[in-house]
Amino acid sequence: MNSSVMAIILALCEAVRRGTPLLLGTTGEILNEKSGSLNLGVEGTMAVGAITGALLGLSTSNMFLALLGAFVGGMFCGLIYAFLTITLKANQNVTGLAITIFGGGLCMFVGETLKSTGKFPSYTTEFFAEITGGGIPLLKDIPYIGQLLFSYNALVYIAIVIALIVWIYITKTKSGLRMRAAGENPAAADSVGINVDAERYKNIVIGSGIMGLGGVYMALFINNGLWNTDWINGYGWIAVALVIFSNWSSARAIWGSYVFGLLLALKSRMPSLASAFPSVLSWSTAIPTEVFDALPFIVTMLVLIISSMRKNKNTGCPTGLGLNYFREER
Amino acid sequence: MKKKITVLLLVFVLLVASLGTLVAFTGCTDSGSEFKVGVLHINPVSSTSGYTYAHQQGILAAKNALGLSDSQIVVKDSLPDDQTDLINAAIEELIAEGCNMIIGTSFGYMEEMQAYAKQYPEIIFSHGTGYLDTYGEGQNNNMNNYFGRIYQVRYLSGLVAGLTTETNNIGYVVARGTDTAECTSGVNAFALGVQAVNPEAKVHVMILNSWFDPTNEKGFADTLIEDYDCDVITQHCDTEGPSSSAKEHNVYSIGYNSDMALAVADKGVERDPSVLTSVLWNWGAYYTQAIETAMKCFDEQGNFIGVDAWKEFGNYYGDYTDGLYELAPLSENCAEGTAEIVALVEEMMSKGTSEWDVFTNKALSFTKGEDGKYTVTQVDRQLKDNAGNDITEVTVANITGNMPYWVAGVEVHNQ
């Protein structure tokens, strides 16, 4: 019995660990989309945040500097995206894809160059213990509950707080109302004196910074700070779909991310779940692992199909999403 | 005006292109006298650990041993297995640059190399880890396959794991399952090594079904440690993930392809003590022999004189006696007596596979004498798979192509 409960708890923990970068990516993307920009550059923005954050964090052994570096790296990508789509009125989709390619390439270039010259920084013993340890003292020692709720590193809790703050900002505050107006109907917002361009700039840049945090999570926690050419591994794309799954609400994105985190964790955790519950799950041992690789993306497609078939018009999707705002063409 | 400029540009482009081919052509005839080796790699040649690194180090070792100059080695890298057009283009470039011998280090180049070997009978081809060649009647005999019995060192690393484990659960993250003998032979040899010193211990296997999946390479090790109580993790995959996971959980690991004790070491630490040892290739041993033999197919002016020497050399499955592979230095965390027992088996292996080999019905048994020294004896046993069926003894013929089972004591947790 105990080991069965433990198998479930370990799988859920893994879901939270893998869901956290998704949550950060999704929260950042919600800020982008709510203000009217469909930013498809999440994957690339996360990659840049990953490399800047990881390098700064590993070379200084300072968690705060790692997060700061990642945030600034993400903001840098957001600034490029905002300048191209708002100031230069470039197509949002194409610009987003360009950011994805650029970010992935930049991360690869810097990482490979440092690795091949032997200059890629490694952990100090203390910093490795700090990264891999984590958890809230005392509370994490409570049997089962402690492991499930209090055993994670700080960024897991920071991600939840960020998601809640963003949710309050968007739904409860005046400035959130202004940014929603810029996303829903920029012309109307402009006519009541809201600076649409400034609203969009602000939210894109901050949102991209949050995506950068998701990137550094992938680098330091999922990959233990060891360089490989696939740090982000498609998580950025899942985040784009998670925005729709969570209906543009970062509060709903919290559990949405953990659901997708669980899907991503199944490849490694399904075998132990199956041996813990042989009567219910023994069928799963016959499934090739490739199916688990594909699962998150299959569910992503299903989410997109179902959400596009929904008759209910009352979604959180901003009306002006994906449309550039030309003041002169009002 | 615009038209004129376009025409001028076109003419310029054509001129440059034709000059280019002219240069390539003259380059080809000029360097005819110099023996050139072309090499195809799957990953960037700049990598500092892993598969391509190991092979490139081997090439460089051969270059030094044979006193070749930089210009005699032509390298084409970053050629993924499935990119047929890139592989073909790279082979054609090597031929155009006048290479007399072409070495392909990755499995996926097999068919392309065979096709070119038939088309160019005066170039020597050598392909790693595959099984196709051009030997036989009516063939050109100018291509061979090479690989080594790395399972011998896997057995040695199994001894290390079996002696060191306390929970008697050992985890193995493997890229592919029973369809790939390279993987199953490694797992099986490792498990037999474990059982030789610790019959109680189980080897828990999780299959990635991918040669590159960094997130899960670490994630699988996490599961093996957390869910299956493994305290030694070994791997047959690409990244340092499994070793890093073991270090994170304060358990031990055994690396493959490159020395993981260096790869996961903290800043200022030379070798990470959580890595018990690593299974390492020393490809230089083969490349030196192979290039030396291929050179015998050409006279001093660089003219092709026939494939006889190469044909005689044939396919290559080197063993411990060739120095083709080795165990990295043992960590201080290895159990007492590990070094002695490993040394005993290394000594047996250095006498050749006729003395004793891993997949035979002879198991090794170790006893500690009163003087504290270990002795090894061979005892009869019947090899069994993990479903309880008898296995026939394994020979060179089926070690490289086909081993669709796991030996007893191996527990596989996914498909």
**pLDDT tier, A328 (very low <50, low <70, confident <90, very high otherwise):** confident
More confident residue, A280 or B2: A280
CB contact under 8 A, A112 and B414: no
Q: Hey, of A131, A289, A290, A293, which one would you mutate to test binding to chain B, going by the most B CBs within 10 A of its CB? A: A289
Instruction: Give pLDDT, residue B25.
Output: 46
In chain B, how long is the greatest CA-to-CA distance? 100
Give a yes or no: residue B7 inside a domain: no
Closest CA to B99 of B80, B115, B116: B116
Q: How many beta carbons lie within 10 A of that of residue B116, not counting itself? A: 21
Confidence at B291, pLDDT banded by 50, 70, 90: very high
What does the pLDDT average to over B267-295? 94
Touching check for B180 and chain A: CB below 8 Å?
no
- Closest Cβ opposite residue B267 in set A112, A123, A271: A123
Of the residues B49, B210, B215, B216, the best mutation for testing chain A's interface (the one with the most A CB atoms within 10 Å of its CB) is B215
The pLDDT of residue B399? 56
Least confident interval from A119-128, A214-223, B92-101, B222-231: A119-128
A226-243 mean pLDDT: 91
One-letter amino acid at A18 equals: R
Size (chain A), residues: 330
Interface list for chain A against chain B, based on CB atoms closer than 8 Å: 6-7, 10, 14, 112, 115-116, 118, 121-125, 128, 132, 222-224, 226, 228, 230-231, 233, 264-265, 267-272, 275, 285-290, 293
Suggest the residue from A62, A120, A224, A269 to mutate for an interface test with chain B (most B CBs closer than 10 A).
Answer: A224
Range of the domain at B259: 151-281+330-412
Residue type, B10: L
Read off the DSSP letter of residue B373: -
Identity of the residue in A226, A265, A285 whose CB atom sits nearest the CB atom of B239: A226
- The minimum CA-CA distance between A267 and chain B, rounded to whole Å, is 8
Phi, psi dihedral angles at B179 (to 5 degrees): -80, -10
Return the domain boundaries, chain A: 2-329
- Is B29 inside a domain boundary? no
pLDDT confidence band for B314 (50 / 70 / 90):
confident
Residue A287, pLDDT score: 86
Encode pLDDT of A165-220 as tens digits: 999 999 999 999 999 999 999 999 999 999 999 999 999 999 999 999 999 999 99
Q: Hey, which of A33-42, A226-235, A278-287, B131-140 has the most confident mean pLDDT?
A: A33-42
**What would you report as the CA-atom Rg of chain B, rounded to the nearest whole angstrom?**
24
Residues above pLDDT 90, as percent of chain B? 60
Q: Kindly state whether residues B217 and B341 are assigned to the same domain.
A: yes
Report the C-alpha gap between B83 and B57 in whole angstroms. 24
**Closest Cβ opposite residue B265 in set A122, A224, A271:** A122
Q: For residues A67 and A214, what is the distance between their CA atoms, to the nearest angstrom? A: 10
pLDDT value for A4: 87
C-alpha–C-alpha distance, residues A293 and A265, integer Å: 10
Q: What's the pLDDT score for residue B396?
A: 57
CB burial readout B20-42, b (16+ within 10 A) else e = eeeeeeeeeeebeeebbbbbbbb
Residues B259 and B372 placed together within one structural domain of the fold? yes
How far is residue A102 from each of residues A76, A237, B103, B334, measured CA to CA in Å?
Answer: 12, 15, 34, 46
* Cα→Cα distances B232→A7, A13, B297, B342, Å: 20, 22, 48, 17
The arithmetic mean of pLDDT across residues B195-207, rounded, is: 95
Kindly state whether residue B11 falls inside one of the protein's structural domains. Answer: no
Q: Has residue B13 been placed in a domain? A: no
Under the banding of pLDDT at 50, 70 and 90, the label for residue B137 is: low
Range from A276-285, A296-305, B5-14, B93-102 that averages highest in pLDDT = B93-102
Are B47 and B178 members of one domain?
no
In the predicted structure, residue B8 carries a pLDDT above the cut 90 = no
pLDDT tens for B242-275 read 999 999 999 999 999 888 999 899 998 999 999 9
In this predicted model, what pLDDT tens digit does every residue of B178-196 receive, in sequence order? 888 889 999 999 999 999 9
pLDDT of A258 reads 96
Which among B291, B321, B351 is the end of a domain?
Answer: B321
- B97 and B141 assigned to the same domain: yes
Can you read off the two tokens belonging to residue B17? 């292109």
- Judged by CB atoms closer than 8 Å, whether chains meet at B209 and A290 is answered as yes
Overall domain count for chain B: 2
C-alpha to C-alpha distance for A297 and B194, rounded to whole angstroms: 39
Strand partners, B147: B317
* Same domain (yes/no): B58, B178: no
pLDDT (mean) for B30-48: 79
- CA torsion sign for A110, A113, A116, A118 is negative
Residues B44 and B129 in one domain: yes
pTM for this predicted structure: 0.86
Whether B311 is in a domain gets the answer: yes
CATH class given for the domain over A2-329: mainly alpha
The pLDDT value given to residue B6? 58
Does residue B248 sit at the A interface (CB-CB below 8 Å)?
A: yes
Question: How large is the ipTM?
Answer: 0.91
The rounded mean pLDDT for chain A is: 92
pLDDT-derived band at B28, boundaries 50, 70, 90: very low
- Greater model confidence, B53 or B345: B345
In a domain, B15, yes or no: no
Q: Is there a single domain that holds both residue B141 and residue B250?
A: no
Eight-state DSSP code of residue B298: B
- Pair type for strands B275-281 and B316-318: unpaired
User: Which residues from B are below 8 Å from A286, CB to CB?
Assistant: 415
Mean of per-residue pLDDT scores for chain B = 87
B48/A285 CB distance under 8 A: no
Examine the domain organization and report whether B359 and B314 are in the same domain: no
Give the mean pLDDT of B84-96. Answer: 95
- Chain B environment of A293 (Cβ under 8 Å): 209-210, 213
Handedness of CA B263, B268, B273, B278 (dihedral sign): positive
Query: Is B315 inside any structural domain?
Result: yes
B74 part of a folded domain: yes
Residue with tokens 């799957």: B42
| 3-class secondary structure per residue, A218-235 | HHHHHCCCCCCCCCCCCH
Q: Say if residue A1's pLDDT is above 50.
A: no
* CA gap B26, B98 in Å, rounded: 10
Q: Which residue of A has its CA nearest to B241?
A: A223
Q: Within a 13 Å sphere around the CA of B267, how many CA atoms are in the beta-carbon half?
A: 16
Find the distance separating the first CA and the last CA of chain A, reported in whole Å. 66
Q: What DSSP state is assigned to residue B120?
A: -
Pair type for strands B252-256 and B124-128? unpaired
Contact at CB, A226 and B210, closer than 8 angstroms: no
Domain of residue B99, CATH code: 3.40.50.2300
Phi, psi of A126 (to 5 degrees): -65, -45
Q: Which residue has the higher pLDDT, B18 or B125?
A: B125
Residues of chain B with C-beta less than 8 angstroms from the C-beta of A118: 48
At A53 the pLDDT is 97
Concatenating the DSSP letter of every residue in B391-405 gives -PPP-HHHHTT----
Closest CB to B207 among A265, A272, A289: A289
Q: What is the pLDDT of residue B29?
A: 43
What three-state secondary structure class fits B309?
A: helix
Residue in A118, A224, A271 nearest the CB of B244: A224
pLDDT one-digit tens code per residue, A131-171: 888 788 888 888 888 888 999 999 999 999 999 999 999 99
